[in-house]
Amino acid sequence: MSEAVLEVEGLTAGYVPDLPILREVSMRAQRAKITVVIGPNGAGKSTLIKAVAGLLKIGGGHVRLEGEDITGLRPDLMAGRGMAYVPQIDNIFRSLTIRQNLELALARVGGASIEPMLARFPVLAEKLKDRAGTLSGGQRQLLAVAMALAAGPRLILMDEPSAGLSPKATAEVLDLARTLAEEGVTILLVEQNVKAALRLADHCYILAEGRNQIDGPARDLLNDPVVGEIYLGGRRMERA
């Protein structure tokens, strides 16, 4: 069995035909590991994760999930392939209660019991009757992840889960990602908090200007001066 759950090869994609944001990007996410994608604003990080999730038209390249080509597969079919996507915003139904959000996620995959979710997320269990829109930012992210877990995914795509969160909430959400990886779930994470992401992840890919720049073990890149140059200059850099 291949250790790469997700393989992206030469991916070209964007929001407007013939105006790609990503240009021939390649990456791999290893089984039960956290792979993080970082880069300056406008680098194409969220575009990458949306293209993998089937939300954008792919102009070139391939996406493979455990060896199966899923390039261009409709988003509603991804759960059946073992993939879940947690977007940065609009990732819960704010006008519904926490219970209704969880039950809706479960209904999409056959209506399993809500009890394991409540045991895993006691903060949500305490607020089942509250509307999701009343939750704090960190609690909303936990609810979004809980909903993603309903389908029992082998791979979870998380798009900037710490955006707008307090340091405490950020730590809680990122710790959850680590726990999931330790339980065997593969995580592909786009994250704006570079230092926290590099401390958390197993492997890191850095994008700039829609292209691969550097990749390697995340902790090795934590103090790499070239990483700082990419962020400060927003340009392609090469190691000496």
Q: What is the dihedral of CA 181, 183, 186, 190, to 10 degrees?
A: -30
Q: How many CB atoms lie within 10 A of CB 163?
A: 15
* Confidence band for 67, pLDDT divided at 50, 70 and 90: very high
CA distances, 115 to each of 43, 101, 153, 211 (Å): 40, 14, 18, 43
Beta bridge partner(s), residue 68: 65
For 158, the enclosing helix (H) or strand (E) is strand 155-159
Percent of the chain topping pLDDT 90: 77
Residue 232: pLDDT over 60: no
Lowest-pLDDT range, 44-58, 129-143, 222-236? 222-236
Percent of the chain topping pLDDT 70: 94
Residue 180: pLDDT over 80: yes
Q: Average pLDDT for residues 134-149, to the nearest whole number?
A: 95
* Confidence band for 31, pLDDT divided at 50, 70 and 90: very high
- Sign for the CA dihedral angle at 146, 36, 223, 221 comes to positive
φ, ψ for residue 77, nearest 5 deg: -100, -5
The separation between CA 203 and the C-alpha centre of its own chain, rounded to angstroms, equals 14
CA distances, 71 to each of 18, 19, 53, 86, 97 (Å): 18, 19, 9, 19, 35
Higher model confidence: residue 74 or residue 229? 74
Pairing status of strand 4-13 against strand 58-65: antiparallel
pLDDT at 206: 94
Higher model confidence: residue 76 or residue 52? 52
Max CA pair span of the chain:
58
pLDDT at 234: 47
Q: Do residues 28 and 8 make contact, with C-beta atoms less than 8 angstroms apart?
A: yes
Averaged pLDDT score across all residues of the chain: 91
| Distance of alpha carbon 129 from alpha carbon 88, whole angstroms | 24
